[in-house]
Structure 1
Amino acid sequence: MHALIVVSHPNPGSLTHAIAAQAAEGVRTSSREHSAEIVDLAAERFDPSFSTDDIAVHLRQAAPSPHILAEQARIDRADALVLVYPVYWWSMPALLKGWIDRVFSNGWAYDEGPDIVPAKKLNRLNVHLVAVGGADLRTYARHGYFGAMRTQIDHGIFGYCGARVVTSELFVPSEPPDTTHHLESAHTLGRTLFAARDREAA
C-alpha cells in the first residue's frame, strides 16, 4: 500500500513538516509492504494560480498540462491521500487550495457538463486530513470554525469527488507548549493508515 502525503508550508522546519514526516515514518514502519511519498508543494514551487488554461480544462475544451497530469498520476498510484497543512484564516493555505483547484479537474476527479451525466470519479480514494491550528479548541468550537472547515473541505471538495474522508484531525497548541503529542499522533496515524486492509488480507 502506498500513501501520498501532501504538505503545504513554506518553512521546512515547521511543525507542519514535522507532522508530515512522522506520518510518513509511521506508514513505513507499519509494514515493509507499505510506502509513503511526501509532496512538498512549496519546495516543488507548485503554481496554484487557476489560469485560462485551467478554465479550458474545466469546460473540457482542452486536456490538462503534463504537469497536472503528473500530479494526478501521483494520486492514482496512491492508496491513501494525506493532506497536512496549517490553518490560514480558518481554512487551508492558498497553495494547497490551488493544488486542489488545478489537479482535481473535471474529467478526472468528477464528470460534469451540459451533455454529461454527473459522476464522482475518486470513489476508490481514502483521504486523511491533518490541519494544524494556532487557536485553541474552545475558539474553534465557539465560532463553529472546525465544523465549517469540515463542511467546505471534507464534504464540499472530497465528497463531491466521491473520495472518502476517513480521518479529519485538528491539532491545536497545548498548555504548556509541547508538540510531542502531535508528533506521536501523526506517527500513529501513519502506522494505522492501512491497518484495516492489512486485517482483511490476513
Structure 2
Amino acid sequence: MLLTQGVTKGCIRAASAAVRHVNSWSSTTWVSCSRTHIMAGRTALIVYAHQSPTSFNSAACKVAVEALQEQGCKVLVSDLYAMNFEASATAKDITGDLKNPQDFKYGEETLEAWQEGRLSEDITAEQRKVEEAELIIFQFPLYWFSVPAILKGWIDRVLSQGFAFSLEKMYDNGIFKDKKAMLSFTTGAMECMFLPDGINGDINVTLWPLQNGVLHFCGFQVLEPQIFWSIAHTPPAVRTALLVAWRARLNGIWEEKPLSFASSALFDLSFQGGFRLTPEVKEKLNAAPHGITTGHHIGKPLPPNNQTQADTENAKTISDILT
C-alpha cells in the first residue's frame, strides 16, 4: 500500500514536470520555411526495438518520423522485431569460406568479410542505412539497465570492426565523428529511483556503457538522451504531453550541442603508455572538484549529469583547467 501511494505521488510530480517541460519547449518557435529548406536533404535513421505497435515506444517512433519528415528530412526506420532481426552474432553473418573455421574469432572473421564484401545481406543493408544517416535515434524500452537483446544484436552485428571502428579510429577520432546519435527510451522506474541517492543508482552510470562505450567509441556526437520515465504509471494526458515535448525537441535536434567526453588528446595513445591519461593532464586535474566524465572519475566525485546534459558546469571547469 505504501509503495502504491509512493508511485501515485511520483506520477503526480512527474505529470507536473512533464507539463512544465512541454511549456518550456512550446515557448520557442523552432520551425520556419527557411529552416525546413536547410534540413531538406538530411537523412535520419531510427533503430526501433519494441514488440507492440500500440506501445508508447511505437508512438514516440512515429512522432520522430513525422517531425523529421516535416523538416524535409529523409527518415529510415529499422523496426527490428518486424524485421525479425537476428540478435546472435554467429558464423552465419559471413558468406563464403571462413579464414579459420577451426578457431573461429567473430571480430577477425567479420573484419575480413567486411573488407571483402562478404557480410550477410541483413548486416550490409543496415550498414548502408548507417552510412546514409546523419542522425541515428535508438528508440527502445530500458531492459535490465540496458537495451533489449534484439537491439544489442543490432549493435554487435552492424557496428562491426572496420566498418564502425578500428584501433586507429575510435572515440573523438572515430569513423562516425560527423554523425549524431542519441538514445530515446522508456523506463519502468521513476526518475527519482535513478538519482545518485535512488535505489537504482545514478542514471549517468547506467548510460555510460551505451553512450560512451558504443556511440562515442564509434565517433558519434552523442546528443542528450530522451528519457520517458515510468511510462507504465503515467496517465494518458501526461503521455500526450510527453510526445508533444518530444516533437518540439526534434524540431531543434540538428542544432543541439552534444554531450562532453574526454578528448583523446588527453591520453597517451600507445601500448607503452597504456592508453592512459598523461601525467601532465593528471597533474592539472588535481585542482578539479570532479572527475572528467562519468567513467574517467580519477578517484574524484562523479561529475553531475555528465551523461544526461550537454551544458554542464563541470565540463567548463575541466576545459578551463586543461587550457
1:91 aligns with 2:132: no
**Are the aligned partners of 1:154 and 1:165 in contact in 2 as well (CA < 8 Å)?**
yes
Matched residue, 2:205: 148
1:49 aligns with 2:106: no
Matched residue, 1:199: none
1:146, distance to aligned residue in structure 2 (A): 1.6
CA 1:118/1:4 → structure 2, altered by over 3 Å: closer, same or farther? closer
SS class of match (1:111): coil
Return the match for 1:192 from 247, 252, 255: 252
Q: Normalising by structure 1, report the TM-score.
A: 0.86
Number of corresponding residues: 190
Q: Sequence identity of aligned pairs in percent? A: 27
1:58 aligns with 2:107: yes
1:149, distance to aligned residue in structure 2 (A): 2.5
**Are the aligned partners of 2:76 and 2:129 in contact in 1 as well (CA < 8 Å)?**
no
Q: Normalising by structure 2, report the TM-score.
A: 0.55
In structure 2, C-alpha distance between the alignment counterparts of 1:78 and 1:105, rounded to whole Å? 17
In structure 2, C-alpha distance between the alignment counterparts of 1:180 and 1:118, rounded to whole Å? 42
1:126, distance to aligned residue in structure 2 (A): 0.2
Letter of the structure 2 residue corresponding to residue 46 of structure 1: F
**Are the aligned partners of 1:26 and 1:189 in contact in 2 as well (CA < 8 Å)?**
no
1:1-202 residue pairs with structure 2 within 5 A? 1-29=42-70, 31-32=71-72, 34-53=73-92, 56=105, 58-59=107-108, 60-63=111-114, 64-112=119-167, 117=168, 119=170, 120-141=174-195, 142=198, 143-173=200-230, 177=235, 178-195=238-255
Between 1:143-152 and 1:38-47, the stretch displaced more is 143-152
Unaligned runs of 5+ residues in structure 1 are 197-202
Unaligned runs of 5+ residues in structure 2 are 1-41, 94-103, 257-323
**Are the aligned partners of 2:44 and 2:75 in contact in 1 as well (CA < 8 Å)?**
yes
- Runs of 4+ in structure 1 over 4 Å off: 53-57
**Are the aligned partners of 1:57 and 1:106 in contact in 2 as well (CA < 8 Å)?**
no
Structure number with bigger Rg: 2
In structure 1, C-alpha distance between the alignment counterparts of 2:146 and 2:185, rounded to whole Å? 9
In structure 2, C-alpha distance between the alignment counterparts of 1:184 and 1:173, rounded to whole Å? 17
1:176, distance to aligned residue in structure 2 (A): 5.7
Report the aligned-residue RMSD. 2.0
Instruction: Write out per-residue CA displacement over residues 4-38 of structure 1, whole angstroms, 9 at most, x where no aligned residue.
Output: 11110011111001001101111122x23x22222
Letter of the structure 1 residue corresponding to residue 179 of structure 2: L
Higher-strand-fraction structure: 1
1:57, distance to aligned residue in structure 2 (A): 5.4
Matched residue, 1:200: none
Q: Which has the higher contact order (CA 8 A, sep 6+)?
A: 1
SS class of match (1:181): helix
CA 1:145/1:11 → structure 2, altered by over 3 Å: closer, same or farther? farther
**Are the aligned partners of 1:27 and 1:193 in contact in 2 as well (CA < 8 Å)?**
no
